[in-house]
Amino acid sequence: VGVASGTVVGVRRPLMEAAIYKLSRLRDLSEEDTVFVRQAAKVSDRFYPGADLCREGERPPARVIVSGWAARARVLPDGRRQIFAFLLPGDMIGVQPQPTITSAVTALTHVETADISLLRDAASALGPRSPLAEAFALAAEMEENLLLNHIVRLGRQTACQRLAHLLLELGERLAAVHEADECHFRLPLTQENLADALGLSLVHMNRTIQQLRHEQLLRLRCGQVTLLQMDRLHALADFSPRQLWRPTAAVTSEARSWEDRSPRRDPSFAASRPY
Amino acid sequence: VGVASGTVVGVRRPLMEAAIYKLSRLRDLSEEDTVFVRQAAKVSDRFYPGADLCREGERPPARVIVSGWAARARVLPDGRRQIFAFLLPGDMIGVQPQPTITSAVTALTHVETADISLLRDAASALGPRSPLAEAFALAAEMEENLLLNHIVRLGRQTACQRLAHLLLELGERLAAVHEADECHFRLPLTQENLADALGLSLVHMNRTIQQLRHEQLLRLRCGQVTLLQMDRLHALADFSPRQLWRPTAAVTSEARSWEDRSPRRDPSFAASRPY
DNA sequence: CGTGATCTTGATGCTCATCAAGGCTAGTGG
DNA sequence: CCACTAGCCTTGATGAGCATCAAGATCACG
């Protein structure tokens, strides 16, 4: 049978533990609410590594990941792959009212999921102002925020920064579901997985890891990561934890204040001249 | 006063036209529904280029863009910028139940918006199965899909491909709201805007444009784009229109079929050995 | 006519992809 | 037991893609 990832060896955590940790991190829940969530605690499916929780274009049933890691990804016609996001215990799929998924979700390790369609319906029955419904909405918001973070990584960061930023983010998320310290956790990913997420080649991913290792910022052994010198890592990656849980406090380094400036010219028309 | 972008010179389109085009592209609406939408046809705000429709961390009121272009973006501490998405007429912000926005929304041209908080409430009052509510949900889904497309551009495409892909996508979206042919439309963006979206430097953006020009794939003059040889552009950018409006039909070039293969070994544990 | 925004061009070097090869480990089958 | 294979990590060499610095051109505006 083997021990599912995300459980201490030999000790089985209550199934909905991760989901409850995550939801209450986003929004205070009453005792009743958590009981509500726990009702869904029945493993509905298990997936082998490489199996699809959901294929491109399918509408998946509402599920929460109980244990294991998965990835949202799209395969390009030339066979290369882009991973959009990693799904950790406590993360949900198919919860939105119209849960079309425009990317496949693939298990990276053994994955156990629980069906939460009843829970979702119950939550929406409680009304959009109920703590539980709000927690779901905040989870969706956080998920979008993760996509935006990923865009910034790919668009504006170097390979080292991307890796550091991603690992810090994963550490935060895992810590929230009590699967890790922020600076030491299990990382059941191959270097190829990381490369597919960070838009790098496998070879360069390897060299990037070695560089961070060499600079004493990282230890990566036996599928375990240890982040060293968190302050230097934060500085290198320009990572702030609040980027995950709250709307990013305006960074506004030298963002010009636009409001008071009614521009002489409308760029929309400036573009109307030949160049 | 000047002519707002998105209107034929001298002819003012009905305000909610774009929104109605877009929503009915996503989901068939009854005559009643469109009347419903039209009720919101009152310009609530105007923004100068550079003004923020919404700052990072704010919860914006529910709005639809009536005319003009805007951009979701985040400014990095070093002053560089990453644009996540362009917002066109018919696009909405703050419609989700929990509309926190984790990025600023900035007007790129003159922008007119209409308040649709009443419309949104009315739609949700009709129930999640009503066509109008479904159209809203599909719009949100499409928006996420645009983010995924953007991630693929940044992660796996070259500068030329990124530009071609983005322009094809914009053409599709504009055509849907009757603001363009797919191959000829107004593009009120500076090269810097494009660079900020595509994760390139301004200089390289310029050279990329010139390369596509030189290969007779593009004309870019007077803020107008003309896409030439659409077939070659589609092939270059690996763009399929269905990526926008429907969940991408499984591309599955040589995606191995995983299901039937129960792997000998669990990679999750493979990672547990030292390397 | 100066200023600022935008587009353009050249020169230089770093970052990263690609090709090629080799190593380690676990599992497989003779 | 020992080739043999497959998956993953590692390393070197080479060149393309892109960033950066610097400068100039054009146009709109005051």
Partners of residue B76 in chain A, C-beta under 8 Å = 152, 156, 238, 251, 253
- Please give the pLDDT value at position A6: 42
Alpha carbon distance B136, B122 (integer Å): 12
- A71 near A192, Cβ under 8 Å? no
Higher pLDDT, A43 or B141: B141
Give the position of tokens 């170097």: A158
Q: Do B82 and A147 touch (CB under 8 A)?
A: no
- Please give the pLDDT value at position B107: 96
| Burial (CB count <10 Å: 0-12, 13-18, 19+), residue A209 | middle
Phi and psi angles of residue A178, each rounded to the nearest 5 degrees, phi first: 60, 35
Instruction: Name the nearest CA neighbour of B160 among B121, B200, B130.
Output: B200
- A79 near A7, Cβ under 8 Å? no
- Please give the pLDDT value at position B181: 84
Alpha carbon distance A258, A255 (integer Å): 9
Give the CA-to-C1' distance from B266 to C29 in angstroms: 21
Alpha carbon distance B2, B5 (integer Å): 9
**pLDDT greater than 70 at residue A71:** yes
Q: Do A147 and B148 touch (CB under 8 A)?
A: yes
Single-letter residue type at A113:
T
Alpha carbon distance A59, A250 (integer Å): 36
Divide the 275 residues of chain B into consecutive groups of 10 and give the mean pLDDT of each group: 40 77 85 80 85 85 93 94 97 77 90 90 84 88 93 97 97 91 91 97 97 93 89 93 58 34 34 29
Residue A230: in which H helix or E strand, if any? Answer: helix A230-237
Alpha carbon distance A5, A69 (integer Å): 8
Whether A156 and chain B come into contact, CB under 8 Å, resolves to yes
A108 confidence band (pLDDT: 50, 70, 90): very high
By three-state DSSP, how is residue A218 classified?
strand
- B167 near B226, Cβ under 8 Å? no
Give the CA-to-C1' distance from B100 to D2 in angstroms: 64
Other residues' Cβ atoms within 10 Å of the Cβ of residue A93: 22
By three-state DSSP, how is residue A116 classified?
coil
A11 confidence band (pLDDT: 50, 70, 90): low
Alpha carbon distance A195, A147 (integer Å): 16
Q: Is the CB of A202 under 7 A from strand D?
A: yes
Q: Do A103 and B138 touch (CB under 8 A)?
A: no
Give the CA-to-C1' distance from A45 to C26 in angstroms: 28
By three-state DSSP, how is residue A73 classified?
strand
Which of A61-65, A221-225, B146-150 is least confident? A221-225
Higher pLDDT, A31 or A172: A172
Here the tokens at position B237 are 């950018």
Q: Is the CB of B228 under 7 A from strand C?
A: no
CA of B143 vs chain A CAs: smallest distance (Å): 11
Residues 6+ apart with CB under 8 A from B82: A151, A152, A155, A156, B73, B74, B76, B196, B197, B199
Whether B181 and chain A come into contact, CB under 8 Å, resolves to no
Top residue of B147, B151, B275 to mutate, by most chain A CBs within 10 Å, is B151
- Please give the pLDDT value at position A129: 83
Instruction: From residue B141, give the alpha-carbon distance in Å to each of A83, B26, B247.
Output: 18, 10, 9
